[in-house]
Chains A and B, each alone.
Chain A
Amino acid sequence: MRAPMIEIENLRKLYGQHEAVKGITFTVRAGEILGFLGPNGAGKSTTMKVMTCLTPPTSGSVRIASHDVLLEPLEVRRAIGFLPETPPLYPEMVVEDYLSFAAEIRRVRRAQRRAAIDAALERCGLVEVRRRLVGNLSKGYRQRVGLAQAVIHEPRILILDEPTVGLDPTQVIEIRTIIRDIGQDRTVILSSHILPEVQATCQRVVIINRGQIVAEGPMEELLHRHGGGSWHFTLRRPPADDGALAALPGLDRLFALGGGRYRAALVPGDDARESAVRALAAGPWGLVEFAPETTTLEEVFREVVLQEARA
């Protein structure tokens, strides 16, 4: 098991009377890309502010790279790169100068600064705008400058708050690619309320709603759990009567979707899928497709958040 980089235990955060985060616990290990999901106002940004020492926890402990945010804030800040919800940019500065400043306050040594800036420009696709004023850049480019600022000192842990909010689809894909690329050799936690976002970049998700964790786990497991392990298949010549299909070995809870398409669960057991496929193919129906039902994260999300609301 790889070393835990972010350890959050029973974190609570009150703003006056309002409890923004109500005791959440999770761990992110080295090399993981974790998606931190939740509707607006769920407590994502607050949790991230605590992780970056911007605001202290009301109770509970938060350790970043084995340093407590309350006891060793400077060590924590040394280990992280942070892109806040609004990229922290100085409009009057040239991109390169801005990154140079970011590198300086992040304690990149003078000798390595030039190389660090070049690497960040390259990585975030900013080479052609390096001499432009930040204030004159488009929203997509500004977001990239924000990202470049967060990675300039090669932090072990990257904390990104809604990195693609407000970008057009092409820009979203570009930013995602950059994040995946960066995530190959470091720990990333990114928050979002846009689901495909997380599905495309993260291996594991934590879903929070109203300050509490409502679902957590590896992406596939979460999708599978909430998809209920359904399968669907398509027949070229469907029988008039479903009864013949229902009687086949391995299949359970058969449901005709029309047009030769069916959905079914598999009976428990290792060989259920094999026998079902064999039986379907052996029949006169012309099996052309047999695949697991894909649940999108969106469905999982809606399901858990709605459950929460009903409860």
Chain B
Amino acid sequence: MSQVWAVFKRELKSYFVSPLAYTAIASFLFVMNVLFVFSLNAYETTRRAAAQQLQQVPGAEALVRDIFGGNVMWALVFIVPLVTMRLLAEERRQHTAELLLTAPMTTRQLVLGKFLGAVFILAVMLALIGWQPLLLRMWGDADPAPVWTGFLAALLYGSFLLSIGLLASSLTESTFVAAIIALGLLALVNWGGVAVGQIPIIGPGLEQFTPVENLKALVRGTIETRAVVYFLTMTLFVVDLTARVVDSQRWR
């Protein structure tokens, strides 16, 4: 475990001495805040329309769900590749992989340490947009439940995307190529997830296995054990797969 900790600490230091972490975090905040304004406007329009027709006005928690279930989901597709692209590709390019792979630790420990470093960045990003749901909670009277499960959902979903980005980074020596691969895979996870629901007959049945649907289940406001387990297993599976890819590269 101490090896994982060592790799994790070095990863964080490395993130914060390069402009990369700052760029990724700043871009995320920018995108999220722009989307927040759009969401507010859209919410306002719906609210007025509902009020005019004397229907029940949706609560601000609808907006909270929008932030975690929509905005975060799309913003991460573009931010995650930035966070993960150098994780393993850079180690190979600058030959530091040889240091890590000849040290007495398993490839899993190495990959896990790197993954957790990226998760930390994600946590920082989510903490920094935390004012949005909290604002809605304090002044918009939003239900507290979606606020908290929303953070959990975003963290779990984001971690899953990070694991995919990590896998992409293990496939190449070039950070740029790693970012492009990650972007492609993440877009597939999101759009693919949405598209599955559109398939006639079997679509609705398959939908519950998509990351997108599990994210939505969590954002609703209750901790869905099924969704939590879903994300944890999927993420660990991809992290483990990454370790296997790195190991298999020894044979070449």
Question: Which residues of A are at the interface with B, using a C-beta cutoff of 8 A?
Answer: 15, 52-56, 74-75, 77-78, 80, 82, 84, 86-93, 97, 101-102, 104-107, 149
B94 contacts A89, CB within 8 Å? yes
B95 contacts A101, CB within 8 Å? no
Shortest CB distance B8–A (Å): 11
A54 contacts B98, CB within 8 Å? yes
A54-B250, A105-B3 in contact; A77/B96 too (CB < 8 A)? Answer: no
A93 contacts B13, CB within 8 Å? yes
Q: Of B76-84, B102-110, B123-131, which stretch is located at the interface? A: B102-110
Contacts of B101 in A (CB 8 A): 53-54
B17 contacts A92, CB within 8 Å? yes
A56-B250, A90-B14 in contact; A77/B102 too (CB < 8 A)? Answer: yes
B103 contacts A106, CB within 8 Å? yes
Q: Does B6 contact A (CB under 8 A)?
A: yes
Shortest CB distance B2–A (Å): 7
Contacts of A87 in B (CB 8 A): 95
A74 contacts B104, CB within 8 Å? yes
B6 contacts A104, CB within 8 Å? yes
Shortest CB distance A135–B (Å): 10
- Closest 7 CB pairs between A and B? A88-B99, A104-B6, A105-B103, A78-B104, A86-B95, A77-B104, A88-B96
Q: How far is the CA of A123 from the CA of B145 in the complex (A)?
A: 59
Contacts of B252 in A (CB 8 A): 15, 55
Number of A-B contacts (CB under 8 A): 75
Contacts of A86 in B (CB 8 A): 95, 98
Question: Which residues of B are at the interface with A, using a C-beta cutoff of 8 A?
Answer: 2-3, 6-7, 9-10, 13-14, 17-18, 94-106, 250-252
A82 contacts B96, CB within 8 Å? no
Q: A82-B98, A93-B14, A105-B103 are in contact. List 5 more A-B contacts (CB 8 A).
A: A91-B94, A93-B10, A105-B7, A107-B2, A107-B104
Contacts of A104 in B (CB 8 A): 2-3, 6
27 contacts between A and B (CB under 8 A): A15-B252, A53-B250, A54-B98, A54-B101, A54-B102, A74-B105, A77-B102, A78-B104, A80-B102, A82-B102, A84-B99, A86-B98, A87-B95, A88-B94, A88-B97, A88-B98, A90-B10, A90-B96, A93-B13, A97-B13, A105-B3, A105-B99, A105-B104, A105-B105, A106-B104, A107-B3, A107-B104
B6 contacts A101, CB within 8 Å? yes
A102 contacts B99, CB within 8 Å? yes
Partner of A77, one of B17, B94, B95, B103: B103
Partner of B18, one of A80, A88, A92: A92
Contacts of A15 in B (CB 8 A): 252
A149 contacts B104, CB within 8 Å? no
Shortest CB distance B113–A (Å): 9
Partner of A105, one of B18, B100, B250: B100
Q: How far is the CA of A86 from the CA of B98 in the complex (A)?
A: 9
Partner of A53, one of B13, B95, B102: B102
A74 contacts B18, CB within 8 Å? no
Q: How far is the CA of A32 from the CA of B165 in the complex (A)?
A: 46
Q: How far is the CA of A88 from the CA of B2 in the complex (A)?
A: 21
Contacts of A92 in B (CB 8 A): 14, 17-18
Residue of A nearest to B7 (CB): A105
Residue of A nearest to B15 (CB): A92
Q: How far is the CA of A77 from the CA of B18 in the complex (A)?
A: 30
Residue of A nearest to B96 (CB): A88
Shortest CB distance B102–A (Å): 5
Q: How far is the CA of A149 from the CA of B99 in the complex (A)?
A: 9
Q: How far is the CA of A52 from the CA of B252 in the complex (A)?
A: 15
Contacts of B6 in A (CB 8 A): 101, 104-105
